[in-house]
Amino acid sequence: MCSILGLYDPRPGADVMPLRPLALSLSARQRHRGPDWSGVYAEPRCLLVHERLAIVDPAGGAQPLRSGDGRLALAVNGEIYNHRELERASTAGYAFQTGSDCEVINALYLEHGPAGVAKLNGIYAFALWDAAEGRLVIARDPLGVCPLYWGHDADGRLWVASEMKALARHCADVSAFPPGHVYDSATGALTYFHERAWRDYDAVQGKTVSPQALREGFEQAVHRQLMTDVPYGVLLSGGLDSSLVAACAARFARQRIEDGDQSEAWWPRLHSFAIGLEGSPDLAAAEVAAKALGTVHHGFTYKFEEGLDALPEVIRHVETYDVTTIRASTPMYLLARRIKAMGVKMVLSGEGSDEIFGGYLYFHKAPNAREFHDECVRKLGALHQFDCARANKAMMAWGVEARVPFLDLEFLDLAMGMDAQAKMAGGGRIEKAVLREAFEGALPKEILWRQKEQFSDGVGYGWIDGLKARAEAYVSDAMFAQAALRFPVNPPQTKEAYWYRELFEREFPGEACARTVPGGKSIACSSPAAIAWDPAFANAADPSGRAVAGVHLAAV
């Protein structure tokens, strides 16, 4: 992954060239995402800046990517997993200039226009300039795995950037670019391109997916995402999701994916990484999983004070004041720094499984398959604001790319295309049982059937308990009583939330920045559906998985 920054002035006679130094300085605020090289494309109407993290074709593939005739300039943050198939199918006669997986976007644009983005299977955010037509196209992947923000300066020029910090003090109307959308300056239209029948429960009711098909579908997703020419690894918390990712990756690690498994991988040994406080549940479980899978495992510990010291930087990088996200992002941020120090540039992670299969503990309370499915769809739609933002930004704070195979678009269509009746938990059936059953024998039973443990809990219960205690000591009752006056947008509901909000405001002042964070607390059971399933959830003030009374530990 990388970072992009774009500037477009639609006014007649526009000249953005004098703004090149400003654009470079704003782009530098997100250079942690792309420390390997910087590239610039500039002409009077448009300016693109790219900070590169070289993963595929590290010797070439520098951006912005130019078409051979100079007509197109493309700045991309992301990976296109089906680029080989798209290149073979292309009939546009596009002459590829690099080995970059992202250059296929240029070919798709020439053949299909902005609508070609719907053919991509990958994680991406890009800005494409067509000099011949004076046309800017901006797009973001369907689930928003890659972050993207946009806004306007005081003169009405359009700015776009990978992270909000590049625009926050320059664009008063900064906001998140919506996932699954493409913007076309030729029409001014912002169009949703990822319509799926499975969003409606009626379209999947009665449909089944065999355990074998589910397993093979996920294995293929992991295989696609092992596309890399640099050292990589897997995040392994010892929970079900990360352990399944590691198990599948271990199957394919020895062969080089980019040449169709025809040669040995450049780095054939699979490394796995975990972090936690001393004695954390995740560290113990990760050791069990790693031993069974034969990975080269690295279990790191951190001290509570080290996490506490990192909080301001975590909030600056992850760009949120959401309680759950910050709790989980901090150990992930510390782990990313360790991974970077070992020379690893890409990791596979397990985000998305809980949203697809209803893995959060409150799903045990779902009354029927329709409501279960509808809540999964809602959770997927919000994922870019929570777990995807955490995994991407906490890792990219140190130039480590996180890939999420559960959110592979082909696998997503398969897994969401089944009747949620098969996914339901409760009554003695553990959450995500359908996934566990599909991978019977792939992991030790104590890992395969380990109950859901949120990452911020699994690193050690002392982490959350310590944060709450520090917030209680720092935020006085008088300060908290004025919370709604000080923070009128999404006023904090707890002292911990107040503390994080204060840190956020130092870096991202103004209501526009505040509105990019939904509500300020991602309490799983605060969704309207969950409260309808069990009204007791409405009074939950803590987003920890342990707080889901009557479910955690007792669920099975």
What confidence score (pLDDT) does residue 127 get?
Answer: 98
Dihedral (CA of 494, 495, 497, 498) sign: positive
pLDDT at position 458 is 67
Tell me, yes or no, whether 502 lies in a domain. no
pLDDT value at residue 549? 47
Q: The domain spanning residue 272 has which CATH number?
A: 3.40.50.620
Question: Torsion over CA of 95, 100, 102 and 108, rounded to 10 degrees?
Answer: 20
523 is in an annotated binding site: no
pTM of the model: 0.94
Whether 516 maps to a domain, the answer reads: no
Sign of CA dihedral 162, 166, 171, 176: positive
235 and 348 inside one domain: yes
Residue 550 banded pLDDT, cuts 50, 70, 90: low
% of residues, the chain, pLDDT over 90: 84
Secondary structure string (H, E, C) spanning 231-244: CEEEECCCCHHHHH
**According to the annotation, is 90 in a ligand binding site?**
no
User: For residue 541, is pLDDT > 70?
Assistant: no
Work out the average pLDDT over 315-323: 97
Res 95 pLDDT > 50:
yes
CA distance 291 to 287: 6
Q: Please, which pLDDT band fits residue 520 given cuts at 50, 70 and 90?
A: low
Q: What pLDDT does 456 receive?
A: 55
| 447/329 same-domain check | yes
- Which among 130, 95, 88 has a CA at the least distance from the CA of 113? 130
Total of domains in the chain: 2
pLDDT tens column, 441-491: 999 999 999 987 665 566 878 999 999 999 999 999 999 999 999 999 999
Q: Which domain holds residue 108?
A: 2-192
pLDDT, average across residues 117-141 = 98
How far apart are the C-alpha atoms of 409 and 391, rounded to whole Å? 18
Which three-class secondary structure state does DSSP give residue 296? strand
Res 453: pLDDT:
65
- Tokens 């004070």 sit at which residue? 305
Q: Residue 471 has which token pair?
A: 């917030």
Domain final position from 478, 506, 534: 478
pLDDT tens, position by position, 363-416: 999 999 999 999 999 999 999 999 999 999 999 999 999 999 999 999 999 999
Reported as a single tens digit per residue, the pLDDT across 324-355 is 999 999 999 999 999 999 999 999 999 999 99
Token couple for 264: 């040995």
- For residues 229 and 147, state if they share a domain: no
* Tens of pLDDT, residues 240-252: 999 999 999 999 9
Tokens of 57: 């074709």
| Mean pLDDT (whole number) for 289-294 | 96
pLDDT band at residue 547 using 50, 70 and 90 as cut-offs: very low
Mean pLDDT, range 143-151, rounded to an integer: 98
Owner of token pair 């777990």: 387
Is 2 part of the annotated catalytic residue set? yes
- Which tokens go with 325? 């996200």
Which of 2, 46, 376, 388 is labelled catalytic? 2
Query: Residue 311 annotated as binding?
Result: no
| Vertex 494 angle, CA 493 and 497, to 5° | 90
Q: How far apart are CA 91 and CA 89, in angstroms?
A: 6
Residues 21 and 76 in one domain: yes
% of the chain residues with pLDDT over 70:
94
Residue 36 lies in a domain: yes
* Ramachandran angles phi, psi of 273, nearest 5°: -135, 140
Asked whether residue 287 carries a pLDDT value surpassing 70, the answer given is: yes
350 is in an annotated binding site: yes
Runs of H (alpha helix) within 268-351: 281-293, 304-318, 323-341
Domain boundary among 132, 161, 192: 192
Strands of the sheet containing 232-235, edge to edge, are 296-301, 271-276, 232-235, 346-348, 401-403
Rounded to 10 degrees, the C-alpha dihedral 406/408/413/419 comes to 0
Contact 514, 536 (CB under 8 A): no
Q: Is 55 among the annotated ligand-binding positions? A: no
Please tell me the distance from the alpha carbon of residue 383 to that of residue 301, in angstroms, as a whole number: 28
